[in-house]
Amino acid sequence: SWTSESFVETTVRELREKIGDDKVVLGLSGGVDSTVAAVLLHRAIGENLHCIFVDSGLLRKNEFESVLDSYKGMGLNVKGVKAGDKFLGDLAGVTDPEAKRKIIGRDFVEVFNAEAQQLADVKWLAQGTIYPDVVESASVNGPAAKIKSHHNVGGLPEHMHLKVVEPLRLLFKDEVRRVGRSLGIGEELIGRHPFPGPGLAIRILGEITPERVEILQNVDKIYIDALREHGLYDQVWQAGVILLPVKSVGVMGDERTYESCVALRAVASTDGMTADWVHLPYEFLARVSNDIINKVRGVNRVVYDISSKPPATIEWE
């Protein structure tokens, strides 16, 4: 029967045989899959694994720095690349969800390639693709199918002639987490909720501006921190906040306000293909809502998304 220990042992051996003394490049995202793939490869080939972690400017608050620190702590050979200005510049004025994904996918490829090309004699591109990605990429619709293109070799320069290695290709998410634990990766990384490749861009409905990114980062932090503090984070498969493209009227003191509205989302799922909205306690929602409205300027209304998938999707774009 399948155990994570035997998977690690076999895979490390196979990776060594396959890769030998070649250099490998891998894009880290801060998520579970690419992290587990990196640590597995690092165990197999050590310093010949070169990781690139791109800051799109669309990550959660402080995420780039904190994740980069934990990668370094794990001994990974990782280069962090700050490219937020490029992404936000290219996204300025764009509101169509598919157009956002295309721009972000293209920017990721460009930034990643520019870095990868600076590494001499790289022979392989490693990816944290897992089984559901393989299945979803094969389907014609679904947002995931489209963005996975940013992990795609199709976007890499031909002259690099990279061969692809995907050590997690046959695993489901829970198996990836088990493998990660047996590799000694900390629970703060293993237990992380899934987060979409295009990041907060697809949770900012309408136009993406630096100000709106900051508002969403601040709201998201209050919500996610509160889930952790109340012991709810691990009971939820994925949670996040959506910044809506509507303003509504409110009052503050004697003043009338006209500000943004955010939607909180929390779902239970096993693979993201179907999902139920989570019945978070009213007490919890009340406190988070108060906190958000009191602390984040520009937001005067909070709603909770009570839609399940299908027919709703987990993300709003």
**Contact positions vs ligand XMP (CB under 6 A):** 101, 142-144, 147, 194, 196-198, 238, 272, 309, 313-315
Q: Which is nearer to ligand XMP, 119 or 205 (CB)?
A: 205
End-to-end CA distance of the chain: 40
The H helix count followed by the E strand count for the chain is: 11, 9
What is the nearest approach in angstroms of ligand XMP to the Cβ of residue 252?
33
What is the nearest approach in angstroms of ligand XMP to the Cβ of residue 19?
26
Annotated binding residue 30 = yes
Q: Which is nearer to ligand XMP, 8 or 189 (CB)?
A: 189
What is the nearest approach in angstroms of ligand XMP to the Cβ of residue 267?
8
E strands along the chain, which residues? 23-28, 49-55, 78-82, 122-126, 163-165, 238-252, 255-268, 276-277, 299-304
- Burial annotation 10-49 (CB, 10 A radius, 16+ → b, else e): ebbeebeeebeeebbbbbbbbbbbbbbbbbbbbbbbeebb
Q: Which is nearer to ligand XMP, 32 or 179 (CB)?
A: 32
Q: Which is nearer to ligand XMP, 113 or 152 (CB)?
A: 152
Annotated binding residue 31 = yes
List Cβ<8 Å contacts ≥24 apart for 87-94.
87/56, 87/57, 87/58, 87/201, 88/57, 88/58, 88/208, 88/209, 88/210, 88/213, 91/201, 91/208, 92/207, 92/208, 92/209, 93/207, 94/207, 94/208
Q: Which is nearer to ligand XMP, 27 or 45 (CB)?
A: 27
Q: Which is nearer to ligand XMP, 238 or 300 (CB)?
A: 238
What is the nearest approach in angstroms of ligand XMP to the Cβ of residue 21?
32
Annotated binding residue 33 = yes
What is the nearest approach in angstroms of ligand XMP to the Cβ of residue 13?
30
Annotated binding residue 35 = yes
Annotated binding residue 34 = yes
Report residue 291 as tokens. 């906190």
> What does the alpha-carbon distance between residue 290 and residue 288 come to, in Å, rounded to a whole number?
5
What is the nearest approach in angstroms of ligand XMP to the Cβ of residue 23?
26
Please report where in the chains the tokens 């009227």 appear, as a residue.
Answer: 249
Q: Which is nearer to ligand XMP, 80 or 97 (CB)?
A: 97
Report residue 93 as tokens. 């004025």
What is the nearest approach in angstroms of ligand XMP to the Cβ of residue 5?
28
Annotated binding residue 3 = no
Annotated binding residue 27 = no
8 A C-beta contact, residue 53 and residue 82: no
CA angle 163, 167, 168 (to 5 degrees): 130
Q: Known binding site: residues? A: 29-35
Q: Known binding site for ATP: residues? A: 29-35
